[in-house]
Amino acid sequence: MNNMNKLITLAVFDNTFDVAFNLLKDMLDEKGIPYVITNQNSRSVKPLPYMVPFNLSIEIKVYENDLKDAAEILRSIRRV
């Protein structure tokens, strides 16, 4: 794997119900930008505080060579 295929965290969310989370996924799909989501299943349901570490966030990661385009999509979402 060359360095341009390294996964980079694009955005971090607290839950999968966040509108920005879903909008970002949809827009990345629309542009054909591949992504990886980490910890999605662990935070889908509001757990009791002692069940899941409080610092376990949902991350959307993209490949380094797609970072510029993905970051522009994220900026457009955050401007709304």
Are the C-beta atoms of 31 and 73 separated by less than 8 Å? Answer: yes
Please tell me the predicted confidence (pLDDT) of residue 57: 86
Strands 7-13 and 35-38 come out as unpaired
Q: Which domains are present in the chain?
A: 3-79 (3.30.70.790)
Distance CA 2, CA 51 (A): 38
Convert the pLDDT of each residue in 21-61 to its tens digit: 999 999 999 999 999 999 876 544 555 555 555 557 899 99
The rounded distance, in Å, linking the Cα atoms of 3 and 13 is 26
pTM (2 decimals)?
A: 0.77
Q: What is the pLDDT of residue 41?
A: 67
